[in-house]
Structure 1
């Protein structure tokens, strides 16, 4: 398996502008102002689903944007590598919404929810790949010593 490509300012800027556009699309899409009554059999349940999913999508996008802003600050020299590794973590992904609730929403909202989820997953993969590069991995000799120690202890 090949190693992941390093992050570059170009990749980060491209993702940042994509995140801004998607966040704006989500904001506009979730501003329904009465459309739920026309598209759902149960408007009250649909409003609850809308509130939950709007919060999930918005949170995903804001976490992504914050992570990208930290990366941009690092490339601009405003954050050290230590600061970025310590404070620039991407929060863990949220649980996906209830499919039954999401099905109460119009198709365009379901599509936006899916897009924000996929975008967050992309950023999450980049964050994990970047962090794995700096993870403390024991040397082969240390791993061998640990295995020998475990084998001796089990005798």
Structure 2
């Protein structure tokens, strides 16, 4: 066995072990809870709070809400893929194919931008927690799949992230 074959073999075993671990269950629950919390906030308290913002802050809030929603949708997609792999609903090859469509790099506006100081603290908390969750998922993804350069290359080739995301979710739920 060559060193390269040995490395690939270890990576696969590590991926299987991490996805089936208790820490994944906690990460999955945290991710899905944050998705629900953000949706509830944006549809209720956040909608009301946005009406009281200045035009600049309201524009920032709207843009940041889109980034938050995108970030959480991508994280949820990754978590669903891992769960599908864990339960045997998807093969490793299927997961890798669909995972290539997931982007775990949605940034947030810098807190120094004009209007950020008007954004409600409860919303800022959700944004910060989503960024920390995305960073943990990205780190876990790197540790599991260890394909940094190939992932960046695949991301660059993706032409329609919304279409890719819809396809990814349809695949994840289609195998239930």
Q: TM-score, normalised by structure 1?
A: 0.72
Helix, strand or coil at the partner of 1:77:
coil
Are 1:91 and 2:103 counterparts? yes
Larger Rg: 1
**Given that residues 60 and 116 in structure 2 are in contact (C-alpha distance below 8 angstroms), is that contact kept between their aligned partners in structure 1?**
yes
Aligned position for 2:41: 29
Are 1:46 and 2:57 counterparts? yes
Structure 1, gaps ≥5 residues long: 137-155
**Given that residues 49 and 104 in structure 1 are in contact (C-alpha distance below 8 angstroms), is that contact kept between their aligned partners in structure 2?**
no
Structure 1 position 13, deviation (Å) = 2.8
Question: 1:4-42 CA deviation, whole Å, 9 max, x = no partner?
Answer: 88413333332222111111211222332332455x4xx
**Given that residues 74 and 104 in structure 2 are in contact (C-alpha distance below 8 angstroms), is that contact kept between their aligned partners in structure 1?**
no
Q: Distance in 2 between matches of 1:35 and 1:82?
A: 44
Structure 1 position 76, deviation (Å) = 1.1
Question: 1:94-124 CA deviation, whole Å, 9 max, x = no partner?
Answer: 2321322433301111111111011011000
Runs (4+) of structure 1 moved beyond 6 Å? none
Structure 2, gaps ≥5 residues long: 1-10, 151-176
**Given that residues 72 and 130 in structure 2 are in contact (C-alpha distance below 8 angstroms), is that contact kept between their aligned partners in structure 1?**
yes
Residues 98, 81 of structure 1: CA spacing in aligned structure 2 closer, same or farther, 3 A cutoff? same
Q: Distance in 2 between matches of 1:85 and 1:94?
A: 20
Are 1:20 and 2:32 counterparts? yes
Higher helix fraction (1 or 2):
2
Aligned position for 1:125: 139
Aligned position for 2:84: 73
Aligned position for 2:121: 107
**Given that residues 57 and 119 in structure 2 are in contact (C-alpha distance below 8 angstroms), is that contact kept between their aligned partners in structure 1?**
yes
Stretch of structure 1 that moved more, 104-113 or 82-91:
82-91
What is the aligned residue count?
131
